[in-house]
Amino acid sequence: MRTSVRLFAVARQIAGCDRVELELPEHATIGDLRQQLGRDIPALSGLLGPMLFALDARYVNDASLVPPNAEIACIPPVSGG
């Protein structure tokens, strides 16, 4: 399935765009998505370890399933405040 991932801050900088489209198998997890993202954008792979992911604006862990048509966001370590 086709999944769109929003990118922010350093991830957006490195990818050169604020959204990337990944091809994932059915029943893929966030962990699978993390790996696919590293394969599709090799420059990102070294930075993905500490990144979190959000599904419909809520944090999820690597075991969570990626539903079709969900809004997925890649969240680098935050530095607001």
Residue 10 near another protein by CB under 8 A = yes
> Smaller CB distance to another protein: residue 26 or 81?
81
Per residue, the 3-state secondary structure of the chain, as one string, reads CEEEEECCHHHHHHHCCCEEEEECCCCCEHHHHHHHHHHHCHHHHCCCCCCEEEECCEEECCCCECCCCCCEEEECCCCCC
Residue 38 near another protein by CB under 8 A = no
Residue 1 near another protein by CB under 8 A = no
| Distance of closest approach, residue 74 Cβ to another protein, in angstroms | 10
Exactly one of 2, 58, 63, 69 binds another protein (CB under 8 A); which one? 58
Residue 42 near another protein by CB under 8 A = no
